[in-house]
Structure 1
Amino acid sequence: MKNELKRVCVKPYDKDRFEVINDYAFSLPSFNGVVPKGFKTDGASIPRIFWSFYPPFQSEYFTACVIHDYLCEKANSRKDYKLADLALKEAMQELKCSKFKCFIFYHACNIFHFLKCFVKD
């Protein structure tokens, strides 16, 4: 039987930010890891103009965004960002987000990280 991805538990930390209240272990098809207690996140880093379509704190994909934020914070290379983006996509799929949302989030992050790494080099 396949493990279901559990939801992360957070508490409000600051305006538009949350703190993970317990170590959060996750298992995805391509990656396993732990988001440590105390990690702070802003949910989905979506430009405010799109918040009416994709709110940054939507419970449907919030857990996937916490995993992605944590992996991005630890990323040191384009390869690390690609892994973080893949983890986001897989977590959203595990959370039963629509294929369209998975596609939009994954490719938006992937393009952003490509440009970020391109400009940085």
Structure 2
Amino acid sequence: MKNELKRVCVKPYDKDRFEVINDYTFSLPSFNGIVPKGFKTDGASIPRIFWSFYPPFKSEYFSACVIHDYLCEKANSRKDYKLADLALKEAMLLLGCSKFKCFVFYHACNLFHKIKCLMKETR
């Protein structure tokens, strides 16, 4: 049986932000969880210069981004961010994104979180 991931249901909340309208239960190969109703997200946090290639609200990977945003909001350590980045990659694959796109998103997020955690340590 092929693994699949349901799509998250959201409503506009503010300019470039959305709110989850029902608890969003997800099951990934290495992690299961729930994004609670009312959680607010900006979709993929991609620098505007890259929006023509990877729009932040593209339905192809939007559900994966909601999971990632939620896990990042709850993250307290580098290990938590690694789990969030892995969840993003797994969710994108389950949603049918290309392996190349998964590679780009995963490694961009992973690098950002490494730098973010290093900067926190140096303060």
TM-score bracket for this pair, using the shorter chain length: over 0.9
Provide structure 2 residue ranges, at least 5 long, that are not aligned to the other structure: none
Distance between the aligned counterparts of 1:84 and 1:58, measured in 2?
19
The yes-or-no answer on 1:5 pairing with 2:5 is yes
Distance between the aligned counterparts of 2:39 and 2:97, measured in 1?
24
Deviation sequence 1:14-72 (CA, Å, 0-9, x none): 00000000000000000000000000000000000000000000000000000000000
- Specify the alignment match of 2:45 in structure 1: 45
Aligned residue pairs total 121
- Specify the alignment match of 1:100 in structure 2: 100
Deviation of 1:4 (Å): 1.5
Deviation of 1:109 (Å): 0.1
TM-score (norm 2): 0.97
Deviation of 1:2 (Å): 3.9
* Structure 1 moving runs of 4+ over 4 Å: none
Q: Which amino acid aligns with 1:4?
A: E
Kindly indicate whether the alpha-carbon contact (under 8 Å) linking 2:64 and 2:92 is maintained by their aligned counterparts in 1. yes
- Specify the alignment match of 2:66 in structure 1: 66
Kindly indicate whether the alpha-carbon contact (under 8 Å) linking 2:3 and 2:94 is maintained by their aligned counterparts in 1. no
Deviation of 1:3 (Å): 4.1
Deviation sequence 1:62-85 (CA, Å, 0-9, x none): 000000000000000000000000
Give % identity.
88
- Specify the alignment match of 2:34 in structure 1: 34
Partner SS for 1:112 = helix
- Specify the alignment match of 1:15 in structure 2: 15
Distance between the aligned counterparts of 2:109 and 2:117, measured in 1?
12
- Specify the alignment match of 2:25 in structure 1: 25
